[in-house]
Amino acid sequence: NWHRTYFFDLAEQADHEINGPRQIDWLERLHADRDNLRATLEWMIETGQTGAALKMARNLSWFWFKRSELNESRSWLGRVVALPDAPMYPECYADALSHLANHTWYQTRSKETRPMVETALAVARAHEDRHNTAQALMFLGLFLADEHNFSKARTTLEESRALFHELGDEWEES
């Protein structure tokens, strides 16, 4: 339990710090502890700690993204969102689905990304989760632009930006 708590907390702290001025330090720190982070995620999955596994995988998603470790990201995020009780944690589920869709899109540009982000958007809206609604809209807007549906992409991205602005999330809004 100490191991789980320590590395879960480390991933959570890293998610807050990884876009800040000490980004390289945090990327190196997580890289050095990657086997422990993997072991923690594996243990959470094996012991049915779905909510914690969803949150931890999501907290590590920008680490994997910034290190271009999209295979690993997609593997972990895919495993946790596929857990049978994952939808019982709607905020974490929508967040993890959005990131899985984004990482899949960056790596493959495949059509499988749309259903993932649309599910994330539906879950977030159903639970009045404005942050995850804005995030899913942002990713959906990018996918729509990639599909050359520029009018719908613009509307979707404007809605996302307005929500992020209302939430005071300057990083996502830009």
Distance CA 13, CA 71 (A): 23
Residues 85 and 49: beta-carbon distance below 8 Å? no
Q: Measure CA 168 to chain center.
A: 19
Query: What is the signed CA dihedral for 90, 51, 11, 18, rounded to 10 degrees?
Result: 0
Task: Read off the pTM.
Answer: 0.93
> What does the pLDDT read at residue 152?
97
> What does the pLDDT read at residue 174?
56
> What does the pLDDT read at residue 15?
93
> What does the pLDDT read at residue 172?
64
One-letter identity of residue 29: R
* pLDDT average per 10 residues of sequence, the chain (174 residues): 95 93 96 98 97 98 95 97 98 97 93 94 98 97 94 97 92 59
- 117: which 2 tokens? 């982000």
Count CB atoms within 10 A of the CB of residue 56: 28
> What does the pLDDT read at residue 1?
84
> What does the pLDDT read at residue 169?
85
> Tokens 């086997």, residue?
35
CA nearest neighbour of 102 among 125, 126, 120, 123: 120
CA nearest neighbour of 27 among 64, 73, 74: 64
Distance CA 136, CA 139 (A): 5
Distance CA 143, CA 104 (A): 11
